[in-house]
Amino acid sequence: MNIAILGYGVEGESVYKYYSALHPGSTFTVYDNNLKPTKQLPEGVRFVGGLKDFKGITADLIVKSPSIPPWQVEVTGELTTVTREFLKHCPAPVIGVTGTKGKGTTCSLIKAMLDATGKKAWLVGNIGVGALDVLNQINSRDIVIYELSSFQLWDSDISPHVAVVLGIESEHLDVHKDFNDYLMAKANIAKYQKPDDVVVSRAGNQYSEYVSKVSPATNKVAYPDETAAHIRDGMFYYGENELFSVAALKLAGAHNRDNTCAAITAVWPWLKDGFDMERGVETFEGLPHRLKLVGSVNDIRYFDDSIATTPGSAIAAITAFDSPKVLILGGSSKGASYDGLAKQIKTSSDIRRVLLVGAEAPKIEMALKNASFARYTNLGSAVSMTDIVKSATDAAEAGDVVILSPACASFDMFTSYSDRGDQFIQAVQSL
């Protein structure tokens, strides 16, 4: 069998391992944008690099990496993806989770709740392990939680049994053609469901609600909602079923309480015991770079929210605390507008100072000016994280919180959001 792998990153490696075991003796060719392989290729694998697109390729089977836009691909042979292959052959029910922000946290909360019952739950996709790496270990009694980005859903024609659609806002417009292309990719998580499947949507988010509407599933639920998971009098409920105290949740912010409601609604077909849910939630202390407390110095608390690469996620960080705040915003562009973020900053009475950094600093500055907010400093791009943290510390007072919640990607000054967050942590620990 002649197999072509389009793009060879972490997922490309997983593709090779899976298909070389499934079809021993096959010949493999890797096609890539890069001139040279970024990872060592297995012996005998042919490499074709420096491609501007992936048109004119012929093979028995072609496996596309998520980062490659569908419109760049025109091939002869069977075309598939990891998402499609996994959902097609997985013997266990799959809870798929998508949305602009909160996917990793919601997936982790779902797994924590299921783990508390002793049920075998697999966490795959963007978070957890490679889906194809564990496919042959999964049995029908298990449950799979699959974090799905727009890129993994871009050209999918199969949907999971439970589709969880968190809030959707503009994102990845530097890669997608436009917002509609992004939304249509997200919609594939539910578009191909069966009537007896379940779709969970974010109440009040018109785009999440749209995805729910395109699903053929007859079981459609929203959160937070009085008919499903919601909060009342400091307790999590599902309908009229009192489950457990909000105090069990160790994550700050209303957005994380919403993520917990999404997780409860997702597991409800399997788990209706508030005690087990509470045990699971109590074990989860959050994921790296997601509004995590780094430390406290001279009664100033520092929070790393480097994964906040959209204005909406930065707004969530702002509203998560009642204390006066010093915000660190800026980075590289993802095509977003900052007008809503600037309006939130203007109407928040407890923003002590906003520090702007990176390539998007001038655009955010203009949005702040248009919103008549003047308490900001544009530090530009020629500044280290040590200097950024020092400036934030100088602007803060005892009792304040300093939040790195950039609302932008990281690739102008850092190698990744995790690199940006790690440098922030190191700078705070050096104070």
Residue 170 reports pLDDT greater than 90:
no
Please tell me whether residues 256 and 137 are part of one structural domain: yes
Q: Tens digits of per-residue pLDDT, 262-295?
A: 999 999 999 999 999 999 999 998 888 989 999 9
Q: What is the pLDDT of residue 52?
A: 95
Q: What is the pLDDT of residue 406?
A: 97
Q: Tens digits of per-residue pLDDT, 321-373?
A: 999 999 999 999 988 899 999 999 999 999 999 999 999 999 999 999 999 99
The DSSP code sequence of 198-254 is EEEEETT-HHHHHHHHH---SEEEEES-TTSEEEETTEEEETTEEEEEGGG----SH
Determine contact, residues 302/330, Cβ cutoff 8 Å.
no
Element (H, E) at 328: strand 325-329
Give the chain's domain count. 3
Residues found in the chain: 431
The CATH number linked to 400 is: 3.90.190.20
Cross-strand bridge partners of residue 221: 200
User: How far is Cα of residue 50 from the mean position of the Cα atoms in its chain?
Assistant: 29
Q: Write b or e for each residue in 149-162: b if 16 or more Cβ atoms lie within 10 A of its Cβ, otherwise e.
A: bbbbbbbbebbbbb
Residue 174 reports pLDDT greater than 90:
no
Determine the Cα angle at 188 with ends 224 and 56, to 5°: 155
Tokens 């025109």 correspond to 74
> 201 in a domain, yes or no?
yes
CA end-to-end span of the chain, whole Å?
A: 59
The CATH number linked to 103 is: 3.40.1190.10
For β-strands 143-147 and 241-245, DSSP reports them as unpaired
Q: What is the pTM (predicted TM-score) of this model?
A: 0.86
Please tell me whether residues 346 and 313 are part of one structural domain: yes
> 39 in a domain, yes or no?
yes
Please tell me whether residues 137 and 225 are part of one structural domain: yes
The CATH number linked to 59 is: 3.40.50.720
> 85 in a domain, yes or no?
no
Please tell me whether residues 369 and 398 are part of one structural domain: yes
Please tell me whether residues 132 and 238 are part of one structural domain: yes
**Strand positions, DSSP E, 16-105:** 27-31, 46-48, 54-64, 73-81, 94-98
Please tell me whether residues 340 and 210 are part of one structural domain: no
Q: Tens digits of per-residue pLDDT, 119-155?
A: 999 999 988 789 999 999 999 999 999 999 999 999 9
Please tell me whether residues 94 and 232 are part of one structural domain: yes
Q: What is the pLDDT of residue 19?
A: 97
Provide the mean pLDDT of the chain.
95
DSSP count for the chain of H helices, then E strands:
14, 20
> 388 in a domain, yes or no?
yes
Please tell me whether residues 250 and 127 are part of one structural domain: yes
> 132 in a domain, yes or no?
yes
Q: What is the pLDDT of residue 134?
A: 96
Mean pLDDT of 394-417: 96
Q: What is the pLDDT of residue 215?
A: 98
Mean pLDDT of 63-79: 96
The DSSP code sequence of 113-147 is HHHHTT--EEEEESSSB-HHHHGGG--TTSEEEEE
pLDDT-based confidence at 188, cuts 50/70/90? Answer: very high
Q: What is the pLDDT of residue 247?
A: 96
Residues 245, 249, 250, 251, CA torsion sign: negative
Cross-strand bridge partners of residue 121: 143
Q: What is the pLDDT of residue 341?
A: 97
> 105 in a domain, yes or no?
yes
Q: Which of residues 80, 114, 133 is at a domain's end?
A: 80
Q: Which of residues 80, 109, 130 is at a domain's end?
A: 80
Taking CB atoms within 8 Å and a gap of at least 24, the contacts of 426-430 are 426/385, 427/385, 427/386, 427/388, 427/389, 427/390, 428/294, 428/295, 428/297, 428/302, 428/389, 429/294, 429/295, 430/386
Domain that holds residue 134: 90-283
Structure tokens at 157: 């024609």
Q: Which of residues 40, 62, 80 is at a domain's end?
A: 80
> 331 in a domain, yes or no?
yes
Please tell me whether residues 239 and 148 are part of one structural domain: yes
Please tell me whether residues 186 and 125 are part of one structural domain: yes
Q: Tens digits of per-residue pLDDT, 201-253?
A: 999 999 999 999 999 999 999 999 999 999 999 999 999 999 999 999 999 89
Determine contact, residues 277/243, Cβ cutoff 8 Å.
yes
> 10 in a domain, yes or no?
yes
Q: What is the pLDDT of residue 10?
A: 85
DSSP-derived secondary structure letter, 42 = P
pLDDT-based confidence at 410, cuts 50/70/90? Answer: very high
pLDDT-based confidence at 179, cuts 50/70/90? Answer: very high
Q: Tens digits of per-residue pLDDT, 10-21?
A: 889 999 999 999
Q: Tens digits of per-residue pLDDT, 78-122?
A: 999 999 999 999 999 999 999 999 999 999 999 999 999 999 999
Q: Please count the CA atoms within 13 angstroms of the CA of 336 that sit on its side-chain side.
A: 30
CA distance 177 to 173: 7
Residue 161 reports pLDDT greater than 90:
yes
Structure tokens at 179: 């917002």
Please tell me whether residues 137 and 257 are part of one structural domain: yes
Please tell me whether residues 268 and 298 are part of one structural domain: no
